[in-house]
Amino acid sequence: MLSEEPYDLGAAVVVQGKRGPEVATVRGAARPQDSGRYGMVLRRATADDLTDWARLGEQGEDLKWFLRARARDRKLPVKIVGAEFTLDGNLLTISYSADQRVELTELIADVRTRTRARVNLAAIGPREQAQMLGALGACGRENCSSSHLQEFAPVSIRMARDQQLPLNPEKLSGPCGRLLCCLQYEHQQYVELLGELPRKNARVCHTSTGACGKVVKLHPLSGTVDVLGDEGYMEGVSAKELRRE
């Protein structure tokens, strides 16, 4: 049964992870949409839980460096990113990245000389690596995937276009080299605001003056657009004052 006890921020709890029980720290209130997904709190962590979690963490860290050395000795084209146990110690997940298909049977044999836990190999991409290793985002805070995101939602360049952001790869990419996860946070709001504006390059006329021109830039947050008039001048106008031809 899931625990319904309230927990203070910073409290250590046992949660249902992707592959089994884990120790986690409370960082915020649960959201209704999180119900039924991994990450649900099972109970408050005990002193024994914290001791076991620290021991398993050290054991996993030692295994990570051991496997890196063994992969290097065997000249395997693979990067061992992490080795993590579940709280019960029954499952060890080895996360790795590789540019090509690689056979890791010998590495698994090496692991079995160090632990009796079941071994799960997980190939991960750049976003998952940044999540595990941690990094600072362009905002100066810890990247979202390491601090609170539990799943990666699809992110597209269309989201940047809708938010009128400059399409500069360096500014739109996170520490992982992929598009920023935060582009999705306000995207739906921008879509709704853009629905109230004329499209770019649309021909519009001012309802009071009758002056016409072409829409060259949208400002969804202010509800205005920049219009290049037929006379050659540029003007910022509220979308409510325009009619579309």
In this structure, the answer to whether residues 211 and 233 fall within a common structural domain is yes
Please give the pLDDT value at position 232.
83
Q: What is the pLDDT of residues 115-132, one digit of tens each?
A: 999 999 999 988 888 888
In this structure, the answer to whether residues 82 and 142 fall within a common structural domain is no
Give domain status of residue 4, yes or no: no
In this structure, the answer to whether residues 160 and 224 fall within a common structural domain is no
Give domain status of residue 228, yes or no: yes
Whether 157 contacts 168, CB under 8 Å: no
Number of domains in the chain: 4
Please give the pLDDT value at position 120.
93
Give domain status of residue 232, yes or no: yes
Give domain status of residue 6, yes or no: no
Domain endpoint, select from 175, 192, 209: 192
- Confidence (pTM): 0.69
Give domain status of residue 1, yes or no: no
In this structure, the answer to whether residues 116 and 186 fall within a common structural domain is no
Give domain status of residue 180, yes or no: yes
Please give the pLDDT value at position 205.
92
- Which domain, by its residues, includes 37? 12-46
In this structure, the answer to whether residues 171 and 143 fall within a common structural domain is yes
In this structure, the answer to whether residues 150 and 173 fall within a common structural domain is yes
Give me the DSSP letters along 138-187.
TTSSB-HHHHT-SSPPP--HHHHHHTT----HHHHB-TTSSBPGGGGTTH
Whether 229 contacts 211, CB under 8 Å: yes
In this structure, the answer to whether residues 57 and 119 fall within a common structural domain is yes
In this structure, the answer to whether residues 64 and 115 fall within a common structural domain is yes
Please give the pLDDT value at position 133.
81
In this structure, the answer to whether residues 53 and 106 fall within a common structural domain is yes
In the numeric block, the tokens 């991994």 are attached to 38
In this structure, the answer to whether residues 80 and 54 fall within a common structural domain is yes
In this structure, the answer to whether residues 184 and 210 fall within a common structural domain is no
Give domain status of residue 99, yes or no: yes
Please give the pLDDT value at position 37.
59
Domain endpoint, select from 98, 127, 156: 127
**CATH number for 108:** 3.30.300.20
Distances (CA, A) of 97 to 24, 76, 155: 25, 11, 21
Please give the pLDDT value at position 23.
94
In the numeric block, the tokens 């500014």 are attached to 171
Which residues, at least 6 apart from 101, have a Cβ–Cβ distance to it below 8 Å? Answer: none
Please give the pLDDT value at position 62.
96
Adjacency order of strands within the sheet including 242-244:
234-238, 224-229, 212-219, 203-206, 242-244
Give domain status of residue 2, yes or no: no
Distances (CA, A) of 11 to 8, 32, 46: 6, 20, 11
Please give the pLDDT value at position 33.
47
In this structure, the answer to whether residues 114 and 53 fall within a common structural domain is yes
**CATH number for 214:** 2.30.30.140
Q: Which segments of the chain have a pLDDT < 70? A: 1-5, 29-39
